[in-house]
């Protein structure tokens, strides 16, 4: 538009045969036209800006003490359903107490240029951003917030508020696992296909191996107790960046050369995770725990601040720690089979039946 105005001014050059008065009038008309076009364009630009920012005007949604603030581009019905459903997901799993959600204000896609949120009367409650999704082409954009986004944001914030043991052990997204067949298969593969020695001990039926694999105890020397030197060297060789970092340090080089103590020292010094089991296996333990003992038990366990993870889980469920661990092992190895209380005789029954069958075959063969 500025280019057009400039063109109009250029075109206002004197035309041969015109008097000075006619030239002046023509220039004034062209200048007025240019100014009018500029004013019209400014009005249109203001309208576009107003329409753009109108999508971000705050819409306040509340449910069970929790507050969600989203832009008006997100429909009230959609936002309400997302907040209700997100809180239900957390309540169903027992991951986050409802009173915790009431201390926060979730917000997304809101105009914050003029301190909008503080003017909504949210008091001293903390702000927590939640993802708002955009779909469709620019000409027909649709905005929405999902229940998963609500639940994930609250659960991760709650996780970060817990004591150091839970923060260290709990994976992000623990509260909304969306456990599927592929998740179960993933936990099975993590346990049975890893080269880590404690996993092999667990598969073989050793309770201590399972506990070390899950990293649910306050082990005095986590790296030394949960990994062998060979385990840690294999980790280095499997990741080029780790291997390069190890080769650049004296202790790391000693680890690669076969010094087990050096491997432990290197991993401890570098701040690598001392948890053997990946996140899917840990989510699996919580999933089974919720299935067996209910949402209230999950909430009690996660709110507990005394003792190891194993002690907190067992205490919340009112069961023996080893019993819980072996139930998890059965559930993982059977890819979701429901464990039942079993006596020693019941566990031995399949072997006894097989022995009886073999003995009968031997006796029959001798008679023939």
The residue with greater pLDDT, 176 or 334, is 334
Distance, in Å, from the CA atom of 148 to the CA atom of 151, rounded to the nearest integer, reads 5
> Residue 86: pLDDT above 80?
yes
Write the DSSP string, 179-229: --HHHHHHHHHHHHH---HHHHHHHTT-HHHHHHHHT-S--SSHHHHH--H
Distance, in Å, from the CA atom of 122 to the CA atom of 119, rounded to the nearest integer, reads 8
SS3 109: coil
Its pTM surpasses 0.85:
no
CB-based contact 159:100 (threshold 8 Å): no
Strand order in the sheet with 104-108: 58-63, 66-71, 104-108, 126-129
Nearest to 210 by CA among 272, 274, 277, 264: 277
Nearest to 26 by CA among 43, 14, 44: 14
Segment 104-158, tens digit of pLDDT: 999 998 877 666 676 776 767 888 999 998 876 665 678 899 999 999 999 999 9
CA atoms within 13 A on the CB side of 93: 26
CA atoms within 13 A on the CB side of 80: 3
Q: What is the pLDDT of residue 364?
A: 45
Q: What is the pLDDT of residue 310?
A: 98
Distance, in Å, from the CA atom of 170 to the CA atom of 229, rounded to the nearest integer, reads 26
Write the DSSP string, 43-59: HHHHHHHHHHHHTTSEE
Residue with tokens 């509340």: 62
Segment 204-260, tens digit of pLDDT: 999 999 999 999 999 999 999 999 999 988 887 766 555 566 655 777 778 888 899
Distance, in Å, from the CA atom of 367 to the CA atom of 116, rounded to the nearest integer, reads 93
């Amino acid at each position: 538009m500025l280019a057009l105005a400039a063109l109009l001014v250029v075109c206002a050059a004197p035309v041969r045969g015109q008097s000075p008065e006619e030239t002046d009038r023509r220039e004034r008309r062209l200048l007025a036209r240019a100014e009018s076009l500029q004013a019209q364009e400014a009005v249109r630009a203001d309208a576009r800006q107003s329409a753009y920012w109108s999508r971000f005007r705050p819409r306040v949604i509340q449910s069970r003490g929790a507050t969600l603030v989203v832009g008006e581009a997100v429909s009230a019905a959609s936002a309400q359903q997302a907040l209700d459903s997100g809180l239900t997901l957390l309540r169903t799993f027992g991951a986050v107490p409802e009173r915790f959600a009431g201390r926060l204000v979730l917000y997304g896609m809101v105009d914050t240029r003029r301190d909008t949120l503080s003017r909504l009367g949210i008091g001293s409650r903390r702000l927590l951003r939640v993802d708002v999704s955009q779909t469709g082409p620019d000409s027909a954009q649709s905005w929405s917030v999902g229940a998963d986004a609500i639940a994930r944001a609250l659960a991760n914030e709650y996780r970060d508020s817990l004591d150091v043991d839970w923060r260290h052990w709990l994976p992000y997204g623990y509260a909304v696992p969306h456990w599927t067949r592929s998740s179960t298969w993933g936990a099975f593969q993590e346990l049975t296909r890893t080269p880590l020695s404690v996993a092999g001990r667990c598969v073989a039926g050793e309770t201590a191996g399972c506990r070390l694999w899950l990293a649910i105890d306050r082990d005095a020397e986590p790296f030394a107790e949960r990994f062998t030197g060979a385990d840690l060297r294999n980790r280095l060789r499997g990741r080029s960046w780790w291997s390069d970092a190890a080769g650049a340090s004296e202790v790391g080089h000693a680890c690669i050369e076969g010094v087990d103590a050096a491997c432990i020292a290197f991993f401890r010094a570098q701040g690598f995770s001392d948890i053997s089991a990946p996140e899917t296996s840990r989510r699996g333990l919580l999933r089974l725990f919720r299935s067996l003992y209910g949402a209230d038990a999950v909430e009690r366990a996660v709110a507990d601040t005394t003792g190891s993870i194993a002690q907190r889980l067992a205490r919340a469920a009112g069961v023996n720690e080893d019993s819980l661990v072996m139930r998890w092992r059965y559930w993982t190895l059977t890819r979701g089979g429901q464990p039942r209380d079993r006596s020693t005789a019941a566990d031995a029954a399949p072997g006894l039946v097989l022995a009886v069958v073999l003995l009968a075959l031997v006796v029959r063969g001798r008679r023939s």
